[in-house]
Structure 1
Amino acid sequence: MAHTAFARAEGDKGDVAAGGSPQGAVLPGVIASRDDPDEIVVTANRRGEAKVAAETEFGEEEIASRGADSIQDLLTRLAPFIDGGGEEPVILINGKPAGFDRSILSYPAEALDRLAVLKPDAGTLYGETAGRRVVNLVLKKNFAMLNADAAADYATAGGQYGGTLSVRRTAISGDTRWNAQARVGADSAFRKTARDLPRQGGVFDSVGFVSAPGGGEIDPALSLAAGRRVTAAAIPPGALTGTPGLDDFAATAGDLHPVDPNRFETLQSSRRNATFGLGVVRPLGDFSVALNLDASRSSSDGLRGLPMASVVLPAGHPWSPFADDVALTRPFAGARALRADNEATSLGASLTLTGNIRGWQTSLAARYAHSQTDNFLESGIDVARVQQLIDSRDPAFNPYGLWDEGLMIATRSRTKGENLSARFNARKTVIDLPAGPLTWNLTANTGRNRTQRRESDAAGNLIASNSVTRSQSSGLMSLSVPISRDDATEPGWLGDLTVDLSASAQAMTNSRVQKGFGGNVSWSPWPALQLQGGIEYADAAPSFDQLDAPIVTTINRIFDYARQEIAEPAWITGGNPDLKRGRRQSLTLTATVRPLGNQILTVNLGYRQSVAKGGLAVFPELTPAIEAAFPERVTRDAAGRLVAVDARAINLARDTNADLSTSVALRMALGAGERRGETAGDPLQLNLSLNHGMRLKSELLTRPGVPVIDQLRAGGQSRHSLSFQVSIGRRGIGGNLSGSWSSPGRLRGGDGVFVFKPPLKLNLSAFIEPDRTFAITGKKGLMSGLKLSVDINDLLNGYRRVTREDGTVPAGYSRNEIEPLGRVVRLTVRKKF
């Protein structure tokens, strides 16, 4: 009897990619079914498939239910399902490395056909370290959209508001696509007067006045002219242009013009920004070429308080009508506040070329970037210089009049930077092993960075200047070796087992070659279980930014444990050319369980241990232990008040950490068909993620010879952290609730122990598209293509409570001093044309 053979086309394989893969993905072709030898199964590559199987996939319905406006926004919302550690993933576009093409992130989320999170071992195949997550963005074959967005945000407690406007055009036609976006935004200044905050100590007067140096009567003759005893007299209006007499001061006797100093300080600077981006991708023979241009400009203006000066005007001075010395207390120029201004401009261009050369899948990317940063910071009046001018009795210097800007203590710095970088990646199947292809991957990076910096004072006099040029080159070689493979044609005796090995080298100007190696094992004995372990050892060298990033000085509001008070020191960030290289080693073990055998429920367990010696780190919180370890980074005045902190990156003698992580992810399509993708209408998408982190060890040795800092016992760190996200929605309407919480931490500082109690932070977002939700039909009108969104940050308006061990709240830790901004609401209107 003859058997009838039939063909079954497989288009959606869920966890198994359709492309050739060393991880056990089904190879395209025609094969006999293992269940029925007369049944023929035809497999084919899906468009845009990567070379590694997908661990998790999000289809159009799930993407639409998230309500994201851009791919960047979508990646942020899907972060708990991509990488619980929060590290930015490697981006593929239609299965090919994105290189320096960042314009893809500004594409509308609607341009995606699907988003695939590849298995953890995909990193080495694409020239990255083992374990780094890789996301494949598969775009629709044909797509076009023109949309405009307008958003406004405001603090519900008042005092701060802002908004953005943007317009974007995107078009995709097969392998050709382009995207252009322009965006402008602004935020108002957030002043201290918007909240009930303690006033700064001292005398603040908007006009200025004279008084006796030790208090009491200024001059008997002045009291006689005024008809009463005078202890203070405002600067007469005529003193701005001419020498005042006793009668002028008698007319202002007793007149003072006190002001609230909080009017002249901002908790958050006013900000403005504008960006433009253009990206074009098209085929070029057997290759694909991507060209991207981008430009941005941002600025901020902050206020640091009302500058006041107190000097002595000696008797007999040309500008003094008094018989004795008097104290002159005055602002620099009326209500003119101290300024803290920053401007930054950047221009960039990148070119990426991908294609196949004699069996090698290659990607070549190059980028040029130019940046300029201007920083202006005023710290007060040069009282010593003013007193010197008064003591010289120069009749041309009017102590009551307008003062030259050169009498202000200020620094102005300008940093220009140029960066030229290139990246080449090539991978090829070396040999086909029984378990799959052995893949060899080579990656080379090179870059040249030039930085010029000039610093001057308020009068424009040069303080310092320097110019630094550095070059950096690195290479990474990795091998992906399949040991066993379990697929539909031939089950592996060990399941899926793959070993990835890597070796790297890096060289920088004036530095020895840094070496590194790593290994990663990925084993899936059953489809529902995947185990992974990795080790890494590498020399760590500072990056261009860590060495030569523009120096930026801002004002940072922190608690000074030494004086038990809130301080607002100058906070210096940027590159630190004195950084040295270090070494790091890490061990990572993870387990992923899918008890239902599909993507509905996923449980992840992980352990990570790392030790960095001489490693690079951001400057930690300024605790007494950190200040004792880095005294040269902290500047205090004669009274011990905190003036400035050099918060640039540092080298640590040793940093040891060990963490456990657990996460649960639930994804359901309510009302869907039996198989994913076979949905009844438009199903309701439910997504839930819950992540728990437990820090087992966190020890910091800042320098040899000093005590080790146990950050869990006395460094303020939390041992437990918890985050969750719940989203529910469908195409046209949906909502998302996310939250985070950390256990209390303890910090030994000053003369006691401080207990930190972080709040439960909740963020809520929701969106609706009226035309889809209410099935509005007919001609295109106002509601057509309209989307309304609301985002509420810090829904519960919580703040980190700080107490001493006895439960008392230390000075400087009131609600408004710790978290003055509070809850912020953002409303967005988006219109598609």
Structure 2
Amino acid sequence: MIRRQGARCAVLFATTAISLGLSTAAHAQARTQAPAPEPGLDEGYEVDELVVTAARDVVPRGSVVGEAQPEMTFDQREIRALGVSSVAELLTALEPQLASGRGRAGGRPIMLVNGQRISSFREIRDLPPEAIVRLEILPEEVALRYGYRADQRVVNFVLRRRFRAITAEAGVKLPTAGGQAAYDATLDGLVIRDDARQQVDLKASLQTPLLESERNVVRTPDETAFRTLLPRQESLSLNGVYARPLGEGVAATLNGSLEWTDSTGRLGLNAGTRDALRRLTDTDTAHLGGTVNGARSGWRWSLTGNADWTDTQTTTEVAYDPVAGVWRAPNTSRSTVTSADVQGLVNGTLVTLPAGGVNAGFTVAAGTQRVEGESFRSGVVRDTDLDRQTVTAQANLDVPLASRKRGGIGGIGDLSVNVNANVENYSDFGTLWTLGGGLTWSPIEPVRLIASITDEDGAPSIQQLGDPETVTPNVRVFDFTTGQTVEVTQVSGGNPGLSADNRRVVKLGLTLKPFDETDFVIRADYTRTRTEDEIASFPAATPQVEAAFPDRFVRDAAGRLVQVDVRPVNFARHDEQQLRWGFNYSRPLKNTRPPPFAPQWPQGAPGGPPPEGGPPGEGGAGGGGFGGPGGGFARRNFAGGNLQFAVFHTWRIEDEVLIRPGVPVLDLLDGAALSQGGGTSRHQVDVQTGVSRNGLGARLNGRWQEGTTVNGGPSGESLRFSDLTTFDLRLFADLGLQPMAREHPWMRGARVTLAVDNIFDEVRDVRDAGGTVPLSYQPDLIDPQGRTIRLSFRKLFLPRLAAPPPETRRPAA
């Protein structure tokens, strides 16, 4: 394995070096072929107290299709104040602002770049935050205009016109309780020039194993030195993006990635060797995606395609059989998943009404997926060969009825309605429909109201339908009927008898921006969902669940639970209601000291920056993107700090499940549970606060979740799950903006970050009616890592800003 990983490292580093060299050469050639833009032409760039923005009636560059207004907008200063290193980290930091109650299982929001579709998240996940001019968060309904379903919020990233940098970062993460370490390193190169973009990103990580013996885990017999709470894991990934304009308003993007992950876990003592039984998993992933966006005669069109391949091999060692006196062959499995899809979207103005244009969007898509596998368990070979093709068509219509600016129905503000329909045909499951509609009303400019309804059919995945039956011994579960922690034989796999489910979602949303000159946004969303024939994982072993599915449980003569069949099932009905509301406040802070490095152009020189810190614009002059690491870059891009505070409260009003007709309804907010983790918390509060100034920043995020109780019934055992409050702290310092950087030029573009997750080392406390902690709910089993500390160093290498050619210089003052 070591030799294999070494070969992978050599290939990845060689490929990265060549790609970075080609990107730099291509950028240098572009600079010689095209003159640099005149400074000051781009909008919305901050220079100390001077902010140049687009006029109110002018649509900002990179805005989304139509007239949808963002619920929240984060500018460059606010993004910098988060102290993150990539778009992936940025989305994690904004999780409370991005949450939605409409999706089937949460998940990542829908991503756009400069108001246009992308093929997948891989296209932008590695972008450094310095390359982003503005981030917009929009409601779920905007997704319909881009051919998606309205079940996740939309995030639009507007990138700089000019950017060029190489980023290197390394970090180490350690639990304060010891016993484990995680190391990671990243090398990234990015060039942006208008619609052209090249990026190569290489990541490597290593996580050492965490043994049960390194925590306070009680097990009988004591095999804690031969069992891992977290496996050893190694990973390598290479991701590349190439985008360029093709002429006449058409631009294309190509994205490819390779990822390798190896993990090794320990499953207990092998009596025959006095060593640990091991489980080795090797996963290889390849992705190729592309997007072509264009416009013609007032209509925008987009074509996206993706192809993915994942190969997973697992080897599980089997203990020596002392009864038969033989060594059993290890259990092995291999699964290969291959998928491909293509989607076309056309969006534009169908007709024009007095209140504005009627926006129409039409989408057609096709996809294929195949799962092939082979497993060897206990001397039995099982093969898997699953296949599915899908064809999709979707139509969306936005009709403006009233407008404060244009007309229509007078005196009521801005009012528009939406209707949408989606039909999907599954080769193995038939035809399913989705119908929806909504209304958006803004009676006055600071207030926006949204009401929508969706009726959606959903099919089970091909894995849920056809995965082979798998038997896993010695799986630890808590039996709520007897109040005991037991080790059972678990049967898993697919269930060919699953039915399609149907979801009806009603949403009422309010966005309020009460102050013109203050960045203060209040948002509230009420959602009500009813799902019939819900497709779900098999729930926890409670008396109510056992009564509904008696054939899924096997007990011995003494009533001890010995086997559970956890293949997916359909619940008869699931009703949910929740209200999520909160606010986000942000204000700029002026730095109290100048940057330590003087700009590279003399103050007031022709073509150089004025005394207040440089000309406005996203990339400045010279075609090189940012200025030098300590010159124009520092003065123009770190001109100010930011103060931010946000609070969001989620109130789950209803969460009830009817498993089967004729059995009691399970109230997950009051005594029932569908998982070993307990019921549903009725209340959750997320708090964010952060401040940055003079290149120093701090962020504190907190989350409180209300405790729950699981009632075991008249003859069962009840459990109490305590409240859980966690805080995460992030401290960062941009070394190039500190006074000591004058004597240490290497600090230019460098940043040090210290992150402490779960500061107070909190873990949910679970106890039975007698106050005892069940063995399966030991704190170190629930949260093996506990409090962790991560220290990282990041270096941004930026080209020095050369003076622009004479024809592009500004006249002297």
Report TM bin, short chain: 0.7 to 0.9
Say if 2:737 is the partner of 1:798: no
More displaced 10-residue stretch of structure 1: 661-670 or 634-643: 634-643
Do the aligned partners of 1:99 and 1:352 also contact (CA within 8 Å) in 2?
Answer: yes
TM-score (norm 1): 0.77
Distance 1:168 1:519, change over 3 A: same
2:370 maps to which residue? Answer: 450
- SS across alignment from 1:816: helix
2:447 maps to which residue? Answer: 529
More displaced 10-residue stretch of structure 1: 790-799 or 724-733: 724-733
Say if 2:105 is the partner of 1:186: no
- SS across alignment from 2:80: helix
More displaced 10-residue stretch of structure 1: 432-441 or 567-576: 567-576
2:717 maps to which residue? Answer: 752
The structure whose Rg is larger is: 1
Superimposed CA distance per residue, residues 780-830 of structure 1 (whole angstroms, 9 cap, x where no aligned partner): 42x222211121111111111123345454455443344332111111111
Distance 1:134 1:416, change over 3 A: same
Equivalent residue in structure 1 for 2:224, among 238, 259, 262 = 262
Do the aligned partners of 2:338 and 2:370 also contact (CA within 8 Å) in 1?
Answer: yes
Aligned amino acid, residue 125 of structure 1: R
**How many residues matched?**
694
Equivalent residue in structure 2 for 1:281, among 243, 246, 251 = 243
C-alpha distance in 1 between matches for 2:84 and 2:745: 23
2:292 maps to which residue? Answer: 353
- SS across alignment from 1:338: strand
Structure 1 spans left out of the alignment, 5+ residues:
1-8, 15-25, 29-40, 202-259, 308-330, 387-402
Superimposed CA distance per residue, residues 111-167 of structure 1 (whole angstroms, 9 cap, x where no aligned partner): 111112235542222222346322111111111111211111111111121111121
Aligned amino acid, residue 137 of structure 1: F
Distance 1:158 1:604, change over 3 A: same
1:623 maps to which residue? Answer: 542
Superimposed CA distance per residue, residues 363-416 of structure 1 (whole angstroms, 9 cap, x where no aligned partner): 111111111111233454445533xxxxxxxxxxxxxxxx5443xxx4211111
Say if 2:695 is the partner of 1:776: no
C-alpha distance in 2 between matches for 1:444 and 1:607: 31
Superimposed CA distance per residue, residues 626-676 of structure 1 (whole angstroms, 9 cap, x where no aligned partner): 344345555677877666655554322111111122212211223499xxx
Say if 2:83 is the partner of 1:67: yes
2:683 maps to which residue? Answer: 720
Query: By how many angstroms is 1:199 displaced?
Result: 2.9
Distance 1:519 1:489, change over 3 A: closer
1:372 maps to which residue? Answer: 311
C-alpha distance in 2 between matches for 1:162 and 1:120: 37
More displaced 10-residue stretch of structure 1: 138-147 or 610-619: 610-619
Distance 1:550 1:486, change over 3 A: farther
Say if 2:718 is the partner of 1:704: no
TM-score (norm 2): 0.79
Aligned amino acid, residue 703 of structure 1: R
1:222 maps to which residue? Answer: none
Query: By how many angstroms is 1:353 displaced?
Result: 0.9
Superimposed CA distance per residue, residues 299-322 of structure 1 (whole angstroms, 9 cap, x where no aligned partner): 221111113xxxxxxxxxxxxxxx
C-alpha distance in 1 between matches for 2:128 and 2:637: 26
More displaced 10-residue stretch of structure 1: 638-647 or 462-471: 638-647
Map 1:814-833 to 2 at 5 A.
814-833=778-797
C-alpha distance in 2 between matches for 1:174 and 1:824: 41
Distance 1:146 1:195, change over 3 A: same
Equivalent residue in structure 1 for 2:350, among 421, 430, 454 = 430
Map 1:430-829 to 2 at 5 A.
430-457=350-377, 461-487=379-405, 492-544=410-462, 546-547=464-465, 558-567=477-486, 577-597=496-516, 600-631=519-550, 647=566, 649-671=568-590, 682-715=639-672, 716-730=679-693, 732-749=695-712, 751-774=716-739, 776-777=741-742, 780-781=745-746, 783-805=747-769, 807-829=771-793
Query: By how many angstroms is 1:589 displaced?
Result: 0.9
C-alpha distance in 1 between matches for 2:505 and 2:425: 22
Do the aligned partners of 1:67 and 1:733 also contact (CA within 8 Å) in 2?
Answer: no
1:79 maps to which residue? Answer: 95
Distance 1:703 1:53, change over 3 A: same
- SS across alignment from 2:125: helix
Superimposed CA distance per residue, residues 161-217 of structure 1 (whole angstroms, 9 cap, x where no aligned partner): 11111211111111110111111111111111112222323xxxxxxxxxxxxxxxx
C-alpha distance in 2 between matches for 1:552 and 1:283: 50
C-alpha distance in 2 between matches for 1:668 and 1:550: 56
Do the aligned partners of 1:150 and 1:828 also contact (CA within 8 Å) in 2?
Answer: yes
Aligned amino acid, residue 526 of structure 1: I
Distance 1:55 1:759, change over 3 A: closer
Query: By how many angstroms is 1:82 displaced?
Result: 3.2
Query: By how many angstroms is 1:340 displaced?
Result: 2.2
Aligned amino acid, residue 737 of structure 1: L
C-alpha distance in 2 between matches for 1:147 and 1:643: 54
C-alpha distance in 2 between matches for 1:421 and 1:486: 42
- SS across alignment from 2:275: coil
Superimposed CA distance per residue, residues 328-379 of structure 1 (whole angstroms, 9 cap, x where no aligned partner): xxx212x222222222111110121111244431111111111111123345
Aligned amino acid, residue 769 of structure 1: D
Superimposed CA distance per residue, residues 606-634 of structure 1 (whole angstroms, 9 cap, x where no aligned partner): 22111101122344444343344345555
C-alpha distance in 1 between matches for 2:216 and 2:738: 44
C-alpha distance in 2 between matches for 1:547 and 1:279: 35
Distance 1:100 1:663, change over 3 A: same
C-alpha distance in 2 between matches for 1:451 and 1:422: 19
- SS across alignment from 2:63: coil
C-alpha distance in 1 between matches for 2:558 and 2:264: 29
C-alpha distance in 1 between matches for 2:698 and 2:487: 39
- SS across alignment from 1:626: helix
Q: Structure with the greater relative contact order (CA < 8 A, sep ≥ 6): 1 or 2?
A: 2
- SS across alignment from 1:527: coil
Aligned amino acid, residue 667 of structure 2: D
More displaced 10-residue stretch of structure 1: 753-762 or 543-552: 543-552
RMSD, aligned α-carbons: 3.2
More displaced 10-residue stretch of structure 1: 691-700 or 617-626: 617-626
2:50 maps to which residue? Answer: none
More displaced 10-residue stretch of structure 1: 801-810 or 787-796: 801-810
Aligned amino acid, residue 756 of structure 1: F
Superimposed CA distance per residue, residues 14-40 of structure 1 (whole angstroms, 9 cap, x where no aligned partner): 9xxxxxxxxxxx9x9xxxxxxxxxxxx
Aligned amino acid, residue 277 of structure 2: L
Map 1:251-400 to 2 at 5 A.
260-286=222-248, 287-307=250-270, 331-333=271-273, 335-378=274-317, 380-386=319-325
1:257 maps to which residue? Answer: none
Do the aligned partners of 1:130 and 1:520 also contact (CA within 8 Å) in 2?
Answer: no
Do the aligned partners of 2:354 and 2:406 also contact (CA within 8 Å) in 1?
Answer: no
Distance 1:493 1:154, change over 3 A: same
More displaced 10-residue stretch of structure 1: 412-421 or 355-364: 355-364
More displaced 10-residue stretch of structure 1: 745-754 or 265-274: 745-754
C-alpha distance in 1 between matches for 2:405 and 2:740: 45
C-alpha distance in 1 between matches for 2:470 and 2:732: 38
2:36 maps to which residue? Answer: none
Distance 1:751 1:648, change over 3 A: closer
- SS across alignment from 1:771: helix
Do the aligned partners of 1:733 and 1:768 also contact (CA within 8 Å) in 2?
Answer: yes
Query: By how many angstroms is 1:497 displaced?
Result: 0.9
Query: By how many angstroms is 1:523 displaced?
Result: 0.7
- SS across alignment from 2:64: coil
